[in-house]
Structures are given as structure tokens and as C-alpha cells.
Chain A
Amino acid sequence: MKKNISIMIGGVQGEGVVSTGMNLMKTFSSLGYYTYGNRNFSSRIKGGNTTFTIHIDIEKIAAVSDSVDILLAMDLDTIDKYMHLLNQDGMIIYDSDLKPDIPIVKALKILPLPITTLCKGLGAPTMKSTAAIAYIGRLLSMPMDILSSSIRRRYGKKGDDIVAKNLEILAAVYENQDFSWQMLQLQLLSPQTAITRGVMMGNDAIALGALSAGCRFIASYPITPASEIMEYLGKHLPNYGGMMLQVEDEIAAVTAIIGAAYSGVRSMTATSGPGISLMLEGIGLAGMAEIPIVIVDAQRSGPSTGLPTKHEQSDLFTLYYGGHGEYPAIILSPSTIEDCFYETQRAFNLADIYQCPVILLSDLTLSLSPQTIDNLDLNKVSLDRGKLVTEMPQENTPEAFNRYQLTSDGISPRAIPGVKGGIHHVTGLEHNEMGRPKDDPINRRSMMDKRMKKTLSLDEVKEIEIFSNSNSTLFLTFGSCFGVLKAAAEASGNAVDYGKINRIKPLPRKELEAYFNSYEKIVIVENNYNGQLSKIIKSELDCHNKLRSFVKYDGNPFTIEEIIKEMGGAY
């Protein structure tokens, strides 16, 4: 009996590889298993090889294994490119129409399946995905009724005919007696609890988090790997009175949400590196004019168009230092799907409280990797709109509202258009308390100090989560790397402590300082060339003798093996 199983599905892009994988994940998640999926795709609509790797486990995991138990090939490329990933006793199954030339490897099980033939025979050549799922279900000893209820759920909206045809394919696969199934079947351990869980990717959780946080406006320009956020909100916001606006470019995106946020609506945009580059001037305006906006950066490989469908975490410098001039901004760095949900809600609170841009830093792997999740708690993060003024006790004199009033914490009351007595001017120019342009040095200094001190109190908030607590070395990371790091640490018998940093700006200095005192060595794990987070930490803390940087920048996430090696362990 196996605790987990890893399946790679490969085929021609645009021909159902992803839907096959997603259906399998949802089916297993409905039985109580945890799943994690990883997509490998290229920048084209149809054609070219694409793969979807699924890890099915009785325990929660946020990484795929480095090797696979089953390789399901819907095209020849998959066999050529990925056969080497198979475990020694792995199984390669493929559409028998492919007629591949597979080298004989001892112990490797090779199983041609009449996927195309069967579907064509039933007059449903486009339903190969269902046949593939059915064969995998049978190999994993899944009862047929589990799959048939899954098919009903999946295709119910498409009509009875479609459901019936898919069920026919399923039955045909289960009735196929051409193979000695008993020999080949893999037995998975039963799940710990037989409950139905959901499958989400980071972008889903961010979008749902935004909706739950009261975000009612998103302006966005489509880009990989962030588009799902605008798509989800575009579909659901109208049901809650809100709006999604697809704009002409990312400059319009950031400035439109600045307008909406200035007017009092929780507003966001979602983009990737190229969009961030275009947005920087607008982000600076939000910093200067103290407007609460939330920007999701689902990072991908840069610079320029880079590897648009590949993973990287290389926007830190741009976001941490970027935009001309100096202004306060907050960067949150969720590491798990749950983080994506809760940290998005926190992002909206922080934006409102500190009246500054808040960046939610995701990455391609976190944004696009689906996984089984436990229930999310709608009420865990409460709503805090900070010093928002929606009505005045009595009408002030028209020009008297000090939008940029100098206060002890630097944060001023914020009236929105429509509020009587709240009239004020907002400008990207340096301004006085009333928001009117002013360029004298005394005012400049007090206004700079006011803005820059707003986020100082965040240094008291705990932002680093450490797991295991018994070793002298800490591996610290952010974003999707955390899932791999966790899997590696556990596989190595917890030879090192590992952790994640939830907020990168302002850097949790006090907390980091304490960890640099308590650990002999801290290794920062990140997907970029420069070791951007480790350099940021080095520039702010005296930790050169204890900090090590471990980076990867080839477009792929770390493998578990790579991290275990860095931990000093054998694989």
C-alpha cells in the first residue's frame, strides 16, 4: 500500500491535459486525499508538449515529487522527454495509437491503452480525457461509481447527452478485460478522513480573498500568470454590486484603481513583472497621495518578456526599492494557498490602515499550482478600514479638511468625495496638510517624515513562521518555495529548521535580528539570480557572517532533491 502516488500527464497543449489533471485532482480530493498539481506549459495556445504532474497523498503537501510513479502519455514527446522521471518500478501508460518505441527497462511496466480507439468507437473522439481518467481510476483500484458521480458533477451543466456519453466511455474502460489489471493495480492507503475538500490555486484564493475582504473593484490587463484573478472577479463581482474593468494597459489599471480607492472603494489590480514595470509611477502616486491600493504581482521569469510561462521570484528589488523617489509601501509574501486567501484580506486592511500601496507578492508556481485545501475561515480576518471618514459630524468650513494632517503616527483622516466638509486637494506634488502644493524645505521634511513613519509600527508584528525549532541552521524562504522546502525538510528527517517570511517590506528587522542571534546559519532560499531577499536583508542587518543564499533561476521551481542536497543531506 502506498502513502502517496505521483502521476505525470503529458500531451499536446490545448488538448485536455490540464482538464484531465484537474478532474483527477478534484476526484481524489472528494475522497479525502490531498493533491498538489504542477503545470508545465509554453506560451502558445495549441500545440507543443505540455505536462501536468499530480501528487496524491494522504497528508497535505505543497510540492510535487521529483520522480513519478505513472507517466500517462497522450503524445510521443511526453515519453521521450519525461520517461527518465519514472521510478524504477514506475509505469508508463500511453494511448496505443501512438505506437511508441520504448526502450525495455527492467521492472518498468509498460501499458498501451486503446484511448483513441475506444473513444472513436463510441463516436466521442474528443472525450479522451475521460477515458484517460477512467484508466487511471481503474489502475488505482477506484470504484467506478466514484468516477461516475464525479463525471455527473463535472459535466452536469453541459447537458444530459454529454454526461451520458462520458459515462459510456467510463463503463467501456471498466469493462475492458484485455489486461490483467490485478497485476498492475496500485493500492493507495485510505485517506485519513473521507471528506470532500476543494481544489484551488493561488490565484483562486487571492480572488476569493479579495471578494471576502470587500474588494469591489478591479482594473486589470490580462497577463500570465495573473489573469485568473481578474477573470474570477469579473465573473463574481457583479453579483455583489462590484465591477471588473479590463483596461488598455497596466498604467490605466493602477491609476483607475487609485481613482476608485480614493473614492472609498476597496480596489485592486493583478499583474506580473512587465505590468509592475509600467505601474511603478502610479504606485509612487499612491504612496505620495496616500491612497490605499492592493497590487498582486504574480512573478514570472524576467527581464522583459523573459520566460512568460516559467517561474521566478525576481521582482523583489523592483518592488522593494522601485518607483522613483521614496514612499512607504508594504509587500506581503504569501507562501501557501491559505496564505493567499488570508494575506489578501490582510493586504486590504493594511492598505486602509496605513494609506499606502500594498503589494501581494505571488509567483507563477504559487499562483497557478492547484492543490487540495482545507476549509477557509471567512471570519478569521476582520475588516479594518483605518481612518476612513465617510461622514463629518458637522460641516466644516469648506477649505478646512486637513487630509494630510500631521499626526503622531503619521496617518491622517481620509475623507472621500461626497463627504460634506471633507473637500480637499490631492496631488502627486509635495503638499501641505490641506493637500495643496508646497515646496518649502520645512514642509518637505515634515511631510516626508510623516509618510515614512507610517509603517514603522509594523516592525512589532510577527511575520516569520519557523517550523521544527531544534536545529542550528534555518532555511528561510517565501512564496511557493516554501512548499518544496517543507517537503525537503521533512524528507531529510528535519535536519534543519525551516520557515517562511510573510512580509518583506517593511522588513521585520527585530524578528530577523533575533533569529540571526539564535541560529548559527540562516539560508535564504529564492528563485532569482541575485539572491534578492538575502541582499535586502544584508543591506538592513549586520548578518554577513551568518547568512547564506541559495538560488535557482532556470525557470523552474526547486526540486525537493536540490534542497535536500543544500541541507547537507543525502537523497
Chain B
Amino acid sequence: MATMKDYNNDVTPNWCPGCGHFSVLRALQVAAAKLNIPKESLVVTTGIGCSGRLSGYMSAYGFHGIHGRSLPVAQGIKLANKDLTVIAAGGDGDGFAIGLSHTLHAIRRNIDVTYIVLNNQVYGLTKGHTSPLSQKSFQTKSSPYGSVEAPIKPGILALANGAGFIAQGYSAYQEQLIDIIVKAIQHKGFSLVNVFSPCVTYNKINTYQWFREKLVDLDKQDGYNTNDYQCAMNTLVETDCLCTGIIYEEKGASYIDLVQEKSALPLTKLDLRLTSQEFSRLFEDFK
């Protein structure tokens, strides 16, 4: 059996001490070990920002691309080689500002990729700017008088757009987060894991303490049914999206299952050459 250490490389993360992202990195490594994913078959794509560096701290194939585009890169990888386990990760700016459109389309496209959002409701690496997930009145260098824009609610947005797996984790709830990531990877289709991952340097509002007081743990809610769409929506509304656990899951065919036979080869294994007969047949169409 693999252990968490197998997915850990010797690079020291450049995150601030106490950053929530350490916990997300560890949870992903433990989840990969629990699922015994061969590390050469694990690909982690990330966007830009503090969260973007996560792919560089995994002993796996890592792809640190451009801002907001971890999802299209991840989808291209999965479509190219369906035998790989593909994780996309990024921050709240990555997934809900510059890359929001990709998030919505990844949800409706339902390619089997797990998307982990390291959500700290602030732009940290630019040294403190407001994020589309920052709450109203949040003061930063780019919102000196307090943000007046309403924050996006990732859970409701994903649920409304037909996501087949939506979960929320919290950096301080390590065991729950590991369990969520394991199940998200196992889910056949697109899975969204929104993790409250506090920024200890630039977000003095949404702190560990703040989350500890506000978050409702769905695992402790008696009889919470993760297959109940209406209940999921109600829960998100009632908790103002401040809940953790698997919020909603629904089994369905993933994109690749819908466009290819189960027995189809991964694109990486295809014969690239056409036979002369095939070529003649294709050419005949133009006559």
C-alpha cells in the first residue's frame, strides 16, 4: 500500500506558516495513498496564486499552468488519457473570477476530474486584494472602503448548474477533508470540493476561529441525505453556504462514457496512421 509520503516531494512549500493550504496538500496526499493511485498515473493541474503552487509539492505529474485555466488543462489531460486520475486545484480567484466560465462548463460537461478550490476569500499572492468570494464590506488594498459586491456562492452555483458531486471541506477538519477527497476522486464525473482554507496573512475576518464558530458539519446532521437535491439547496441557503461535508451527489454517466464505448482505448494509445484504404475512402467524400 502507498503511504502519504509517497506523494510528497522534497520541495518546501512557500506558503506562510499557518496557511490552510498545508492541510489541503496533506489531505490530497493521504487520499491518494488511501486509493493507492500509482503516482505516475496521478496528474495535478493548478492555476496561479498561492494555491497554484500545490502541484509542485506533489510527487506526481504536476502541471502549473496559467491563471484561471487549471480546468481546461485538466479536462484536456483526462480526455487524452482516461486511465489517469486528474485533479485540478486553484484558488477562489482562479475558479470564480478569471476562470468562472471554465468552472461552470466543467460542471455541465461532467468530465471525470476532481476540482479542489482552496478558498480563502482573498487574493493573497498579490498581497491582499478582494476576491469574488470575499464577503461584503471586506476591506483590502483594492477595496479600501469595503467591498460592496455580493460574494459568489460556489455550492449553490454548482448545484444550480447540475454538478454531480459537491462537497465543502475546512482545512482544520483534516479527516473529513481526506474522506471528501477520496469520495470525490471515486465519483465518476466532475466533482467540486470547495475548501475553506484560511489565509492567515491577508484575511483577518474569515479566520480559523471564525469558521470554527460558523461552520455546520453535515456529517453530524442526523439523516442528512446527500442524494436529496432540494435538501442540499435548502442546507446551503439556511447555512449561508457555511457547511462542510458532502452536500450533494448523484450518479450519472460522465462525458467520456457518453461519447465512447467503455472498451475504447485512451487517445494516447491510438494508432496514429491511416491505412491507404481508409484514406481513399475519406478522399472519396470530396468527389
Contact = CB atoms under 8 A, between A and B. Distances in A.
Interface of A: 26, 29-30, 196-200, 204, 208, 211-214, 216-217, 219, 236, 238, 240-243, 245, 247-249, 251-253, 255-267, 281-282, 285, 289, 373, 375-376, 378, 383, 398-399, 416-429, 436-437
Contacts of B265: 241
Interface in B178-219: none
Contact of B76 (A236, A259, A428, A437): A259
A417 B81 contact: yes
B9 interface: yes
A257 B62 CA distance: 16
Nearest to B109: A245
B258 to A, nearest CB: 11
Nearest to A379: B276
A425 B59 CA distance: 9
Contact of A417 (B43, B72, B272): B43
Interface-central residue, A383, A398, A423, by most chain B CB under 10 Å: A423
A30 B287 contact: yes
Nearest to B11: A436
Interface in B248-287: 259-260, 264-265, 267-268, 270, 272-274, 276, 279, 282-284, 286-287
B56 A419 contact: no
B40 A419 contact: yes
B100 to A, nearest CB: 10
B39 A423 contact: yes
Interface in B93-122: 101-102, 104-105
Contacts, number: 194
A398 B39 contact: yes
B137 to A, nearest CB: 32
B73 interface: yes
B282 A211 contact: yes
B75 interface: yes
15 contacts: A217-B76, A219-B76, A252-B69, A256-B72, A259-B76, A260-B77, A263-B81, A264-B80, A264-B81, A265-B80, A399-B9, A421-B40, A425-B64, A426-B62, A428-B66
B72 A251 contact: yes
A265 B75 CA distance: 13
A259 B45 contact: yes
A217 B276 contact: no
B65 interface: yes
Interface in B42-82: 43, 45, 53, 55-56, 59-66, 69, 72-81
B41 interface: yes
B222 interface: no
A373 to B, nearest CB: 8
Given A253-B72, A259-B77, 9 more contacts: A217-B76, A236-B282, A256-B76, A259-B74, A263-B77, A263-B81, A417-B77, A425-B55, A426-B64
A428 B61 contact: no
Nearest to A205: B286
B279 A378 contact: yes
Contacts of B53: 437
A261 B74 CA distance: 12
Given A198-B283, A252-B102, A417-B84, A282 B69 contact: yes
Contacts of B79: 217, 243, 245, 256, 259-260
Nearest to A204: B286
Nearest to A416: B268
Give the size range of B's interface with the partner. Answer: 35 or more
A113 B260 CA distance: 52
B270 A240 contact: yes
Given A198-B287, A199-B286, A265-B268, A399 B75 contact: no
Contacts of A248: 101-102, 104-105
A29 B287 contact: yes
B64 A428 contact: yes
Contacts of B238: none
Given A196-B287, A242-B267, A376-B283, A214 B273 contact: yes
Contacts of A242: 267, 270
Given A257-B76, A259-B73, A267-B76, A241 B56 contact: no
Nearest to A253: B72
A381 to B, nearest CB: 11
Contacts of A214: 270, 272-273
Interface-central residue, A249, A281, A417, by most chain B CB under 10 Å: A417
Contact of B286 (A198, A249, A252, A421): A198
A426 B104 CA distance: 25
B274 A378 contact: yes
Contact of A375 (B43, B260, B283): B283
A417 B41 contact: yes
A198 B72 CA distance: 37
Contacts of B287: 26, 29-30, 196-199
A285 B65 contact: yes
Contacts of A249: 101
A130 to B, nearest CB: 19
Contacts of A258: 65, 73, 76
Interface-central residue, B41, B66, B101, by most chain A CB under 10 Å: B66
Contacts of B66: 255, 281-282, 285, 428
Contacts of A29: 287
A418 B63 contact: no
Contacts of B45: 259
A132 to B, nearest CB: 21
Interface-central residue, B43, B60, B72, by most chain A CB under 10 Å: B72
A429 B61 CA distance: 16
A429 to B, nearest CB: 7
B176 to A, nearest CB: 29
Contacts of B60: 423
Contacts of A417: 40-41, 43, 61, 77, 81, 84
A383 B270 CA distance: 14
Contacts of A422: 40, 61
Nearest to A252: B72
Contact of B63 (A213, A262, A420): A262
B56 A425 contact: yes
A262 B66 CA distance: 14
Contacts of B43: 263, 417
A190 B45 CA distance: 62
A253 B62 CA distance: 20
Contacts of A263: 43, 76-77, 80-81, 84, 267-268
A197 B284 CA distance: 9
Given A252-B105, A256-B75, A262-B77, A217 B272 contact: no
Interface-central residue, B74, B102, B268, by most chain A CB under 10 Å: B268
Q: Which 3 A-B pairs have the closest CB atoms?
A: A259-B76, A214-B272, A198-B286
B69 A418 contact: no
B272 A255 contact: no
B40 A418 contact: yes
Nearest to A281: B66
A310 B64 CA distance: 39
B282 A208 contact: yes
